[in-house]
A and B are shown apart, each in its own frame.
Chain A
Amino acid sequence: DAKTTQPPSMDCAEGRAANLPCNHSTISGNEYVYWYRQIHSQGPQYIIHGLKNNETNEMASLIITEDRKSSTLILPHATLRDTAVYYCIVRGYGGSQGNLIFGKGTKLSVKP
């Protein structure tokens, strides 16, 4: 079973921030939170990952709550090209713990 819970869909206006939530209440101490997205008919694309501190890169920011039971991916200025399915994944390390287990994700629709 997937270890994360995400809303099935969200809308966002172009130019506004998109905030995508993820619940991972059973995360263990050595598991990282990863975010990927998949634009229609393409392979998934890595966005960002974190353990417990907030992270930022050129694509997005990741905010992880202090208890690590939930996180939010922030796209600061969403564009139409950000329309995609966004997957939140928790991942451990070593052997099969390193495998990515994809849930159903959140379908983000950015509207003009």
Chain B
Amino acid sequence: DVKVTQSSRYLVKRTGEKVFLECVQDMDHENMFWYRQDPGLGLRLIYFSYDVKMKEKGDIPEGYSVSREKKERFSLILESASTNQTSMYLCASSLSFGSRGGYTFGSGTRLTVV
């Protein structure tokens, strides 16, 4: 069964900490995405990557960075965590922008910044 795996299900961090959220997919997908989900705001795209070492800003990139050193792994980095970054973070992957297939999502990481 194909999978997108997020390293942590729940995470609690302190304000100002540097936080790494890891995502690994085993489907040899080209594209990977990071979303955050908040009540009343739905899913919002933070960053995406369509190839190793390539990245593009989504709708809300401020306060975040990403890293994609290997095809299967896409990391989201909170440079200095703040309480307004408390959220559910979802990673997804897809075969390519040219394909018609759907996205596969991970189970999410619920991050609380205190």
Q: Which chain A residues have a beta carbon within 8 Å of chain B's beta carbons?
A: 32, 34, 36, 41-47, 49, 93-105
Bound together, the chains give a CA A49 to CA B97 distance in angstroms of 15
Kindly provide the distance from the CB of A64 to the nearest chain B CB, expressed in whole angstroms. Answer: 14
Inter-subunit contact A44/B105 (CB<8 Å): yes
Q: Which chain B residues have a beta carbon within 8 Å of chain A's beta carbons?
A: 4, 31, 33, 35, 42-43, 45, 48, 56, 58, 90, 92, 94, 97-98, 100-108
Kindly provide the distance from the CB of A32 to the nearest chain B CB, expressed in whole angstroms. Answer: 7
Bound together, the chains give a CA A43 to CA B43 distance in angstroms of 10
A102-B43 contact, Cβ under 8 Å, with A93-B97, A94-B97, A95-B97: yes
A32-B100 contact, Cβ under 8 Å, with A43-B92, A99-B48: yes
Inter-subunit contact A44/B97 (CB<8 Å): no
Inter-subunit contact B56/A96 (CB<8 Å): yes
Inter-subunit contact B42/A43 (CB<8 Å): no
Bound together, the chains give a CA A87 to CA B107 distance in angstroms of 17
A43-B106 contact, Cβ under 8 Å, with A93-B98, A99-B45: yes
The 4 closest A-B pairs by CB, nearest first: A46-B102, A43-B105, A98-B97, A102-B43
User: B100 contacts which chain A residues (CB < 8 A)?
Assistant: 32, 49
A42-B107 contact, Cβ under 8 Å, with A99-B58, A102-B43, A105-B42: yes
Bound together, the chains give a CA A104 to CA B38 distance in angstroms of 11
Bound together, the chains give a CA A97 to CA B56 distance in angstroms of 13
Bound together, the chains give a CA A104 to CA B39 distance in angstroms of 10
A44-B42 contact, Cβ under 8 Å, with A49-B102, A93-B97: no
Kindly provide the distance from the CB of A11 to the nearest chain B CB, expressed in whole angstroms. Answer: 21
Task: Report the nearest B residue to A45, measured CB to CB.
Answer: B105
Bound together, the chains give a CA A93 to CA B33 distance in angstroms of 16
Inter-subunit contact B58/A44 (CB<8 Å): no
